[in-house]
Amino acid sequence: MKTIYKTVIGVIIMTIVGITAVACSSTKKGYTDVQDTATAAAEEEFKIEKSGAQMWGETCNRCHIAPSPADYNDTDWETISLHMRVRANLTEHESKKIEEFLKSAN
């Protein structure tokens, strides 16, 4: 009697362990955020990038009247662009494009 009882308990425990193992396993592939190269290249090709003049007009006029490019020399624009990059939360690329426009226009 004890042997049958132990056998039944053993079978029940093994069944529970088996069901748990099957339920916790997954046959799905892992998900990644990586795009295939063809899609990434197509999106990059059609991305429209704003000019430095457009970004200057949009960004600077958000908070104050944008100064004329002729108001400052190249060295001043470098200093101002570093300061305003932090204040306006600009990326380095955006800041450089605006700075290049201001230097070319003064």
CATH of the domain at 73: 1.10.760
Give the residue from 54, 52, 68, 60 showing the smallest Cα distance to 100: 52
Contact 66, 18 (CB under 8 A): no
What is the per-residue pLDDT for 96? 94
* Host domain of residue 83: 52-104
Contact 98, 56 (CB under 8 A): yes
Over residues 53-96, the pLDDT tens digits come to 999 988 899 899 888 899 999 999 999 999 999 999 999 999 99
Q: Report how many domains make up the chain.
A: 1
Give the lowest-confidence range in 6-15, 19-28, 30-39: 30-39
Whether 30 is covered by a domain: the verdict is no
Whether 91 is covered by a domain: the verdict is yes
